[in-house]
């Protein structure tokens, strides 16, 4: 059984992982629009990796008899000042995900 605090933290992280997938999907769409298919593919792979993380949290909460509470997912940006700006944001986002996990 999960404590309330742990359950809340896991559900919050599950939501953030969903947001992360959404961020990378938005970047994928941006790159597709720019005809940068290699960059789009890279972001697609990142989005799918985030969905694997989502399911790990989802299954862990369930396995520990916790309550999975899906929350609204914040909409991501849809425009960047160019490819470099998008990749810099992706890097910063990964740093924020890591910081949340470490917390």
Indicate the domain borders of the chain. 4-102
**pLDDT per residue as tens, the chain (103 positions):** 899 999 999 999 999 999 999 999 999 999 999 999 999 999 999 999 999 999 999 999 999 999 999 999 999 999 999 999 999 999 999 999 999 989 8
Q: Which two tokens stand for residue 37?
A: 């298919």
Q: What is the CATH number of domain 4-102?
A: 1.20.1260.10
Query: How many Cβ atoms sit within 10 Å of the Cβ of residue 24?
Result: 25
Buried b (16+ CB within 10 A) or exposed e, 40-63: bebbbebbeebeebbeebbeebee
């Amino acid at each position: 059984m999960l404590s309330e605090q742990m359950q809340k933290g896991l559900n919050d992280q599950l939501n953030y992982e969903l947001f992360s997938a959404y961020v990378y999907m938005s970047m994928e769409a941006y790159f597709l629009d720019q005809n940068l298919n290699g960059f789009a593919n890279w972001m697609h792979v990142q989005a799918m990796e985030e969905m694997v993380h989502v399911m790990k949290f989802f299954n862990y909460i369930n396995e520990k008899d916790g309550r999975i509470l899906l929350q609204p997912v914040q909409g991501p940006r849809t425009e960047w000042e160019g490819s470099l700006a998008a990749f810099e944001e992706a890097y910063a986002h990964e740093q924020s995900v890591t910081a949340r996990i470490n917390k």
